[in-house]
Structure 1
Amino acid sequence: MRVLGVDPGLTRCGLGVVDSGRGNRLTMVAVGVVRTPGDRDTGERLVYLQDQMDAWLDRFQPDAIALERVYAADHVPTVMTTAQASALALLAAARRGLPLVTHTPTEVKAAVTGSGRADKAQVTAMVTRILELEVAPKPADAADALALAICHHWRGGGDQRLALAAASERARLKAVAARAAETGAAAARPARAKAVSR
């Protein structure tokens, strides 16, 4: 199963793709941070962020999206821009029919480090260890996105099973469509040959 973790933010949005294999082994596929300049119009920044998110979804084809849940904080403008970035992930998932699950920062920290009170350095260290990375992911937004994906793999539960079933069905439908296209192309070849011989 492949999960895209999204650490939402308008200035910096962390994106991390993690695959699960046999024996619950997790592997990092990609990680990055989309940045938008603060002096640009908010609408332009959102369009750019949406384009980048779509590009990641098209390229890596995740089976599910794990998004950090927005929570009320003292700094209202930060909450607003984080909510705007979160809405882009929700919209992208809905358009593609992908399951999206939100996880609180405490849930993510507990899943990755064993403590819901872990600091960013501890989260980054455990993400590096779990994914067997040679270099720690930086900045913190990148590590947080990978931590979200890890959390979803380990705590996805029913959502994860649904995502696996959906991924299996998508693969089956692609195979059926490919066979139908091959059959149609094969049937068209003799007809063209007859037309040429006349």
Structure 2
Amino acid sequence: MRILGIDPGLRLTGFGIIDKTGGKLVYVSSGRIRTVEGELPVRLKSIMDHLNEVIAEHKPDHVAIEQVFVNVNPKSTLMLGQARGAAICTAVLNNLSVAEYTALQIKQAVVGEGHARKEQVQEMVRRLLRLTGQPATDAADALACAICHAHGGLGLGTLSTAGYRVKRGRLI
């Protein structure tokens, strides 16, 4: 199974691709999509075009994307949501299923702590995928999202979650 993880952002969108064979995770590729300053529609198109290229080149089976968190600045939250929407639309237009995970779920799956720092996520991604160097933060977050999906999204896809909720990255 090949998984494309996406860390959406209007200025920088991270992507990471891993293969899962049995219980083994293998790094395939990662990077960042940097949009140029300008009108919003042009920036969203840039995200879509670059993700289309990544999908065409690597042919993932699944896409995992980080959910938007509500920021102090509503305008920033809205802009992030639009970048996220562009990424989701690109995946769906390529007939890929999309799984969504909160930052807490991703950190819990990769680090074991829902409130882990970015440096901890980077280091665990490096170790889990046996990388020789530290990935950039956006790419590391995208790879972490893919790893979370590979681990069954904390098992939420296989457990009956009726009557439960997620708190601090845990099912309660």
Residue of structure 1 equivalent to 2:89: 91
TM-score, with length taken from structure 1:
0.76
Consecutive unaligned residues in structure 1, runs of 5 or more? 161-198
Give the distance between the partners of 1:115 and 1:155, measured in 2 at CA: 17
Greater fraction of residues in helix: 1
Residue of structure 2 equivalent to 1:129: 127
Larger Rg: 1
Give CA deviations for 1:25-66 in whole Å, capped at 9, x if unaligned: 11110000000123x111111111110011011111111100
Identify the range of structure 1 (108-117 vs 86-95) with the bigger mean alpha-carbon deviation: 86-95
The CA RMSD measured in Å over matched residues stands at 1.5
Give 1:146's aligned amino acid.
L
Q: After TM superposition, which residue ranges in structure 1, 4 or more long, deviate above 6 angstroms?
A: none
Give the distance between the partners of 1:29 and 1:142, measured in 2 at CA: 12
Give 2:145's aligned amino acid.
L
**Higher relative contact order, structure no. (Cα contacts within 8 Å, ≥ 6 residues apart):** 2
Residue of structure 2 equivalent to 1:148: 145
CA contact (8 A) 1:8 1:68 kept: yes
Residue of structure 2 equivalent to 1:196: none
Residue of structure 2 equivalent to 1:64: 62
Give the distance between the partners of 1:31 and 1:37, measured in 2 at CA: 20
Residue 97 (structure 1) shift: 2.0
TM-score, with length taken from structure 2:
0.87
Give 1:126's aligned amino acid.
M
Give the distance between the partners of 2:108 and 2:86, measured in 1 at CA: 26
Tell me, what secondary structure is at the counterpart of 1:88?
A: helix
Give 2:10's aligned amino acid.
L
CA contact (8 A) 1:69 1:105 kept: yes
Residue 93 (structure 1) shift: 2.2
Identity among equivalent positions (%) equals 37
Give 1:75's aligned amino acid.
N
CA contact (8 A) 1:18 1:26 kept: yes
- Aligned residue pairs, count: 157
Tell me, what secondary structure is at the counterpart of 2:151?
A: helix
- Which of 31, 39, 42 is the aligned partner of 1:44? 42
